[in-house]
Amino acid sequence: MHEEEAQSDNHPGPTSSEPDQSDKNDAYTDRRGVAQKYLERKYGTVQDFYQKHKTTLRYILWGILLAVYLAMVIAACALNFHRALPLFMITVATIFFVVWDHFMAKYEHRIKELLSPGRRFLDRHWSWLKWVIWSSLILGVVFWLIFDTAKLGQQQLVSFGGLIVYVILLFLFSKHPTKVRWRPVFWGIGLQFLLGLLILRTGPGLMAFQWLGNQVENFLEHTDAGASFLFGENYKDHFLAFKVLPMVVFFGAVMSMLYYLRLMQWIIRKIGWLMLVTMGSSPIESVVAAGNIFVGLTESALLVRPYLPHVTKSELHAIMTAGFSTMAGSVLGIYISFGISPAHLLTASVMSAPASLAVAKLLRPETETPKITLKNAMKMGMSDSRNLLEAASHGASSSISVVAHIAVNLIAFLALLSFVNAALSWFGNMFDYPQLSFEIICSYIFMPFSLMMGVNWQDSFMVAKLIGYKTFFGEFVAYEYLSKLVDLRKGSGPKFVDGVQQYMSIHSETIATYALCGFSNICSLGMVVGAFTSIAPTRKRDIASEAGRALIAGTIACFITACIAGILSSTPVDINCHHTLENAFASSLSQNTTDVVSCCQSLLSSTVAKGPGEVIPGGNHSLYFLKNCCELLKPSTLNCTWIPDQL
């Protein structure tokens, strides 16, 4: 017993050290508590400092980032300014608009007060001053047309005449001709003309849009990375399905990201504001027309979805017309991949926005008081995505329906076109005319419209066919056929094979590109009615009654854009026709090439024929060239027997 007690004293158990361990734990807890309170005080101090100087710190951070970016831009310009020019221009434009926004937000009222004397002066004298301005503009256009016609020929004058005819027809068939406000009409056409003049007739403007078109083309080429990974290295063997349609997915993802970053809304607001202050259109119309430059006819309406049930009938008509007459950026990439000029496609998409409002306000004038204010219209919907990656995924997923719509419609309508042509050929064979087809019928129905746009007589039937394809089967089918014509022209093959014309002139291709650039077709009519009815079910009756008129208005808006392009576009004159015709008719070379036919067309159009033996060839050409050109083209406007054989 004593031994056990001794052992217990020499070897104490765990219970004997519990007070010491507890003291250590308490001390550790106290120290941790003191440190935690210290950190909390410091964190609170830092948080208070941040809340007090939050704006200043934010400015400092953005200032550092901006300084780093500007240093990179300066370094890039110093290394190679030509290579860094696009980056420099983008930087300057961004800085300008950001400064402009802040300046206007702060000093807008002061600017209005400063300009108010001038505004009061205009209001007092506007009754006579407007006649002076309009007379000056009309005289300027007349003199410009005179000099331009003398320089480039009479074809541009035909396009101008077609523009006037379209405006007169719209006025005659207007819903309320006596209530037409001419400011949106003239300003819409004027903005088209100014944009076209800047892009098509000035060197910097043309170079800028050609550069932009090339950048878009290069940008869309990145789709190949995803397409080749998914479909294999031979994906281009199925060009349309695996090369072209994936572009819609890629572009949809990019557009969704831009919406998440609010960049697209900012651009749409600026363009909408420009049309609002110039054309005098309502805020809701201006925003939707601007949005249609970038997105589709149903997506643009979603920008102002909360206000759609409250728009007037004229505004509803204008919104649908803007959708029919413009082209979404997501599908422009497809047509660029077909080989259609990127610069002309981008120009047509921008020019059609003011044209749509001009035509809409002429065909369906405003008779009510708009309820949507400028402030409300500019409050466009924001992206529902929580981050940038989710926005990209949402954009790619939402494009599935677009891709499926394009694919199934192509299958259905090309098959339907084949069946219709077979049925028409069978029917025509009953009357010994087996070549009867849908193309021939469209060529005669739409030929007057293509003539009014400035297309020459020989090409007018081919352009009319393309318009028929677009109207009944969609612009996708029409651009596909146009791309084939462009490829044949670039191949410089015979222009006529067995008496059938194979391709058109560059001028006619340009006009056709603008005339086809819009969603105005029968398929889109059903899409618009369905989409708008789901957005604003209370306006179902108004939507159904205005949709057909809007489709016609959108088609004519595309034709007016093509007229402007016909006035301003000039076929490259880089062919020495004397040398070309001499080589063609004095040797065994082919006489049915692009250059020879183009020179012969120019010669025949400038020839004056008064009667047999009284023929004066134009362009200082000889009667020998005229005789050979007449036999080659067999024109209906000149009797070849009038040209004397003895030269």
Q: pLDDT per residue over 461-481, tens digit each?
A: 889 989 988 888 888 888 888
Show the tokens assigned to 189.
């056409």
Query: What's the longest Cα–Cα distance across the chain?
Result: 155
Are the C-beta atoms of 200 and 206 separated by less than 8 Å? Answer: yes
If one counts every other C-beta atom within 10 angstroms of the C-beta of residue 297, the result is 29
pLDDT for residue 167: 92
Residue 565 in this model has a pLDDT that exceeds 70: yes
Q: What's the whole-model pTM score? A: 0.72
Mean per-residue pLDDT over the chain, rounded: 79
Structure tokens belonging to residue 229: 């990974």
What would the pLDDT profile of 63-119 be if each residue is shown by its tens digit? Answer: 899 899 999 999 999 988 888 887 888 888 888 888 887 887 787 788 878 878 887
- Lowest mean pLDDT: which of 256-270, 335-349, 436-450, 633-647? 633-647
Contact 638, 606 (CB under 8 A): no
Report pLDDT digits (tens) over 397-429.
Answer: 877 877 787 788 778 877 888 898 899 889 988
Contact 605, 629 (CB under 8 A): no
pLDDT band at 1 (very low <50, low <70, confident <90, very high): very low
* pLDDT, tens only, 14-55: 454 555 666 666 666 767 777 777 777 777 788 888 788 888
Residue 6: pLDDT band with limits 50, 70, 90? very low
Count of CB atoms situated within 10 Å of the CB of 110: 9
Q: For residue 562, what pLDDT is reported?
A: 92
Name the helix (H) or strand (E) containing 36: helix 18-52
pLDDT band (50, 70, 90) for residue 122:
confident
Per DSSP, helices labelled H in 430-521 are: 438-445, 447-452, 457-473, 475-490, 506-515
Q: How confident is the model at residue 574 (pLDDT cuts 50, 70, 90)?
A: very low
**C-beta separation of 518 from 475 below 8 A:** yes
Is the distance from CB of 475 to CB of 519 less than 8 angstroms? Answer: yes
Helix, strand, or coil (residue 610): strand
Decide: 195 and 347 in contact? Cβ < 8 Å: yes
One-letter amino acid for residue 300 of the chain: S
| Amino acid identity for residue 559 in this structure | F
The pLDDT of residue 578: 67
pLDDT surpassing 70 at residue 262: yes
End-to-end CA distance of the chain: 153
**Of the spans 87-91, 161-165, 258-262, which averages the highest pLDDT?**
161-165
Read off the pLDDT of each residue in 153-170 and give the average, rounded to a whole number: 85
Chain centroid, CA 468 distance in Å? 21
Q: Is the pLDDT of residue 560 over 90?
A: yes
pLDDT of residue 647: 47
